[in-house]
């Protein structure tokens, strides 16, 4: 099935929005995710429905069909493999790779994808901790963690994933040692959402405003779960 880059972007966006909720995805949510207008989304959803890629109910939103999910998983696999390859083999900073992968993900061949995966030794996650779908295009297991804002003073957690969309946020987190696999001790959680933490092997504390903290998923340090 030949699809435009824009169609694939919509399917990927719906897949990513479905990660955090079991309900149908609303037109307004897709519009916000892709920074387009709701009428533009409605028009595209009609085209995707005609191709059997989404299941749409008026006023209730959409879900991906099995075929739509397969397409989305393939695009996500391309994207996250490319992010990993750019970081590990071409010396890109992790704050740069999202936009580059967005441009390339629609245009690589399956042979190229296999070579990239082999060169990376079939990674499970990308540089930001997001799970990479396997070659079978089955949905990968999602991280169990929650936003760091859900934890309390004194908790020790492990960073599982950070959102890859905003280069400035990624640079800020990297400068303060907040990356997947790093332990954080929560020093303070302010009522307005500011989280103050200290990363292992890092001499200074880091303040995570609410808008930044929500981009960081963490899990309790193994052995310390309540």
Residue 220 has pLDDT above 60, yes or no: yes
DSSP secondary-structure letter at 131? B
pTM for the predicted model, two decimal places: 0.90
Closest to 170 measured CA to CA, from 106, 68, 99, 82? 99
**Alpha carbons 124 and 135: distance in angstroms, whole number:** 11
Domains belonging to the chain, first-starting first, are 5-64 (1.10.10.10), 146-220 (2.30.30.90)
**Alpha carbons 101 and 64: distance in angstroms, whole number:** 23
| Model pLDDT, residue 187 | 94
Residue 96 has pLDDT above 70, yes or no: yes
Q: Which residues contact 29 (CB under 8 A, 6 or more apart)?
A: 17, 61
Q: What is the mean pLDDT of the chain?
A: 92
| Model pLDDT, residue 142 | 85
Residue 131 has pLDDT above 60, yes or no: yes
- CB environment 109-124: b (16+ within 10 A), e (fewer): eeeebeebbeebeebe
Band (pLDDT 50/70/90 cuts) for residue 46 is very high
Bridge partner list, 57: 61
Q: Which residues contact 140 (CB under 8 A, 6 or more apart)?
A: 124, 131, 132, 133, 134
| Model pLDDT, residue 21 | 79
| Model pLDDT, residue 61 | 94
């Amino acid at each position: 099935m030949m699809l435009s880059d824009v169609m694939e972007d919509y399917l990927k966006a719906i897949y990513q929005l479905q990660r955090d909720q079991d309900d149908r995805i609303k037109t307004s949510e897709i519009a916000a995710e892709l920074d387009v207008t709701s009428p533009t989304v409605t028009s595209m959803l009609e085209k995707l429905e005609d191709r059997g890629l989404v299941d749409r109910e008026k006023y209730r939103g959409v879900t991906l069909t099995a075929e739509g999910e397969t397409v989305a998983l393939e695009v996500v696999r391309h994207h996250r493999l490319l992010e990993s390859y750019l970081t590990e083999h071409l010396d890109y900073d992790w704050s740069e790779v999202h936009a580059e992968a967005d441009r390339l993900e629609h245009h690589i061949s399956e042979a190229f994808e296999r070579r990239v995966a082999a060169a990376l030794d079939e990674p499970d996650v990308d540089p930001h901790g997001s799970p990479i779908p396997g070659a079978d295009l089955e949905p990968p297991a999602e991280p169990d963690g929650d936003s760091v804002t859900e934890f309390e003073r004194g908790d020790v957690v492990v960073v599982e994933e950070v959102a890859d969309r905003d280069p400035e946020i990624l640079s800020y987190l990297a400068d303060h040692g907040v990356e997947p696999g790093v332990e954080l001790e929560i020093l303070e959680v302010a009522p307005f959402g500011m989280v103050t933490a200290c990363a292992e092997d890092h001499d200074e504390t880091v303040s995570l405003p609410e808008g930044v903290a929500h981009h960081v998923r963490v899990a309790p340090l193994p052995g310390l779960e309540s």
